[in-house]
Amino acid sequence: MKKKKIIIDPYIQGQYNNNYYSIYSDDCFDILKQIKDKKFDLIITSPPYNIGKSYEVKIDIEKYLKTQEKIVKQLVDVLSDNGSLCWQVGNYINDGEVFPLDMYYYQIFKKYGLKLRNRIIWHFEHGLHASKRFSGRYETILWFTKNEDYIFNLDPVRVPAKYPGKRHYKGDKKGQPSGNPLGKNPSDIWEIVVNDWDKEIWDIPNVKSNHPEKTEHPCQFPIELVERCILALTNENSWVLDPFSGVGSTILAALKNKRNAIGIDKEVEYCNISQQRIESLFTGELIPRPINKAIHKPSKKDKVAQIPTEWANLANKIYKLCKSHKDTPI
């Protein structure tokens, strides 16, 4: 395969099999200004949420959104005509009030002519516990396209049919299987998330301390979350861009599936970790969580699944107290 021209001298660049990757340790606004062609079939990222993580400075939400809009405009300029843009965000919290960022971002993307195809809910079971509201256990992915003619590959994201033995009950195909041997075949793109990607919810664990992909990054992207988008929305040898690439989950998902990738992150430490993870992919030492692996559920025998003795004793006291009240005549 002929090596493609790299537009910018990257901080890190390399090759995995016949695909290329680059990692830029810089502000994405400055790097994007230097990219002149619409080469990316997929732009996927999780931008800073403006919640005061170690890699960001919390600012007024209006100012934050104006800064992000400048970046969005540049991303639209480098997105291919049949490409997709996936923007994964959570909530901005200020004085206990929740601001759903996807609602704010939607207006920005519409301003630049993009069309929303799905609002995907990413559900996870573990995270920070809130004390004055219900604990947040989901984030959203806004999937936009530039045009009606966009890349969409169904087969790589098919899922096992719920009723594979179902058959046509009338017509020329009466008695023949009504499904697809590769799995569920949604009638259009809107039903993809209604069926596996089940009920518009992708149940994928977030990267916490016991996750096999865990690094030092506080808000790490699971590789399998990116893989679903890459498999469905790009072709082999497509170019994928992550303008806030963190520790390289997007790059890894792209290379693993025979795509080219560019990642940008201003934190040198995260760029170095990205390169280390890519090298681990080369050597086979990287162990990403398999796509569509069932969520672990603890056995009743596991200690962490058992009610603590202190709680059991307390429950017995409450039960006896309630029973004594019930037996007392009014």
pLDDT digits (tens, 9 = 90+) for 146-187: 999 999 998 887 777 777 888 888 889 898 887 778 776 342
- The reply to whether 304 falls in a domain is no
Binned at pLDDT 50, 70 and 90, residue 296 comes out as low
- Give the pLDDT mean for 295-301: 59
* pLDDT of res. 160: 72
For the beta sheet containing 201-203, the strands, ordered from the edge strand earlier in sequence to the opposite edge, are: 12-16, 19-24, 260-264, 239-242, 40-45, 79-89, 138-145, 115-123, 201-203
- The reply to whether 290 falls in a domain is yes
Provide the domain limits for residue 248. 12-159+196-297
- The reply to whether 182 falls in a domain is no
- The reply to whether 314 falls in a domain is no
Positive/negative CA dihedral, 210, 298, 89, 52: negative
pTM of the full structure:
0.72
Q: Which tokens go with 59?
A: 């600012």
* pLDDT of res. 223: 86
Residue that wins the pLDDT comparison between 126 and 106: 106
- Give the pLDDT mean for 225-232: 90
- The reply to whether 171 falls in a domain is no
- The reply to whether 226 falls in a domain is yes
- The reply to whether 237 falls in a domain is yes
Residue that wins the pLDDT comparison between 85 and 221: 85
- Give the pLDDT mean for 113-138: 73
- The reply to whether 286 falls in a domain is yes
Q: What is the CATH number of the domain that holds 232?
A: 3.40.50.150
Q: How many domains does the chain have?
A: 1
